């Protein structure tokens, strides 16, 4: 039988000084080849869910199993972090090194690769994502879209077996969005994507779920629906993306 890569059992979590349960006896399984989209309102605990998987938030009850192994301690999670790549909402949080190459090589160096190997890995990833021209760029001078792509590269450089993407397209223009879509569609690893954009989620995932009251709801069926909308120049033939 296919074993889940990530298995969360009865996870509950709330922040200190707060009674609101962000995650409430949550159960969630992710299998190989799953490409899951999470669409849920702000504040429903999506980001907390990701942080729990990565061990950044410690739940007060429940079990987390990654690749069939129960993880609890900080040491267990350092193994998890080498297998799961989390891409943060704000690329500025992730890119802290002065140059792009430094930043992409940071992960591989931590995994114990030598300077030369880490550099090679970083260069290859940048090349694969079409970012080779930015290799020596100063990170904080990149545009929003470029930063996001470099952050993506820095996560992929860890060669994760599964990716967690927190609103990867928020605030990007169509061009940058398409690039991210393309990269995701060509990936052969599983991923979970948080997004508010239905079209994006539809294109790149094969399962969608929602979150409410600290729990996950499956919603795999496609519902055809229509709605009217207005905007200027609406008379002209046009498309929505």
Partner 1 sequence: MHISEGILSGEVMAAGAVFTIIGVTLGLRKIDYNRIVHVAIIASAFFVASLIHVNIGPSSVHLICNGIIGLLLGWAAFPAIFAALLLQAFFFQYGGITGLGVNTVIMAVPALLCYYIFSPFIKKDSKLSFFASFIGGAFATFCSAVLFASSLWFTEKKFFGIAITIIAAHIPVMIIEGFVTGFCILFLLKVYPEIFYQKNDSLQKN
Partner 2 sequence: MFDEILAHKNSIIHELDPRTRIISSLILSFAAALSDKFLILGIYFLISLALIYMASIDFFYIIKRLKPVFLFLLMIWIILPLTFQDKMFLKIPFFSFSKFLTLSIPGLELCAKITLKSITIVLIFVSLVATMTFASIGNGLHKLFVSDKMVFLILMTYRYISVIEHEYKKLLRAAKFRGFKPRTNLHSYRTYAYIAGMLFVRASNRAKRVYQAMVCRGFNGKFYTLDTFDSSKLSLIFIFIIFAITFFLVLIEAWI
Please report, as residue ranges, which positions from 145 to 174 form the binding site for partner 2 (by CB under 8 A): 154-155, 158
Q: Which does 190 bind (CB under 5 to 8 A by kind): partner 2, partner 1, none?
A: none
Sign of the alpha-carbon torsion through 62, 68, 74, 77: negative
Q: Does 48 bind partner 1 (CB under 8 A)?
A: yes
Please report the DSSP string for 55-73 in residue order. Answer: TSS--SEEEEEETTEEE-S
The minimum distance between CB 128 and partner 2, in angstroms, equals 18
Binding segment for partner 2 (CB under 8 A), chosen from 75-83, 178-186, 207-215, 216-224, is 75-83
Q: Give me the half-sphere count of Cα atoms (radius 13 Å) on the Cβ side of residue 152.
A: 28
The minimum distance between CB 87 and partner 2, in angstroms, equals 9
Q: How far apart are CA 133 and CA 18, in angstroms?
A: 47
Query: Using CB under 8 A, which of 28, 51, 88, 134 touches partner 1?
Result: 51
Q: Which residues contact 148 (CB under 8 A, 6 or more apart)?
A: 91, 168, 172, 176, 180
Tell me the pairing of strands 84-87 and 35-38.
unpaired
Query: Using CB under 8 A, which of 110, 143, 174, 206 touches partner 2?
Result: 110
Q: Which does 140 bind (CB under 5 to 8 A by kind): partner 1, partner 2, none?
A: partner 2
State the residues that interact with partner 1 by CB under 8 A. Answer: 15-16, 47-48, 51, 56-58, 96
């Amino acid at each position: 039988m296919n074993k889940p890569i990530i298995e969360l059992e009865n996870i509950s979590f709330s922040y200190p000084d707060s009674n609101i349960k962000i995650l409430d006896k949550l159960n969630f399984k992710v299998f190989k080849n799953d490409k899951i989209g999470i669409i849920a309102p702000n504040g429903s605990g999506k980001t907390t869910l990701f942080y729990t998987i990565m061990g950044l938030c410690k739940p007060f009850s429940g079990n987390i199993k990654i690749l069939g192994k129960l993880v609890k301690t900080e040491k267990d999670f350092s193994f998890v972090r080498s297998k799961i790549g989390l891409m943060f909402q704000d690329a500025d949080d992730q890119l802290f090194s002065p140059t792009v190459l430094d930043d992409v090589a940071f992960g591989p160096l931590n995994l114990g690769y030598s300077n030369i190997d880490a550099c090679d890995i970083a260069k290859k990833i940048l090349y694969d994502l079409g970012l080779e021209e930015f290799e020596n760029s100063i990170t904080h001078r990149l545009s929003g879209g470029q930063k996001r792509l470099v952050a993506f590269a820095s996560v992929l450089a860890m060669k994760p077996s599964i990716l967690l993407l927190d609103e990867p397209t928020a605030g990007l223009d169509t061009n940058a969005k398409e690039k991210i879509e393309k990269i995701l569609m060509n990936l052969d690893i599983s991923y979970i994507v948080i997004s508010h954009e239905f079209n994006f989620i539809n294109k790149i995932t094969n399962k969608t779920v929602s979150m409410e009251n600290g729990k996950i709801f499956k919603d795999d069926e496609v519902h055809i629906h229509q709605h009217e909308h207005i905007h200027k120049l609406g008379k002209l033939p046009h498309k929505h993306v």
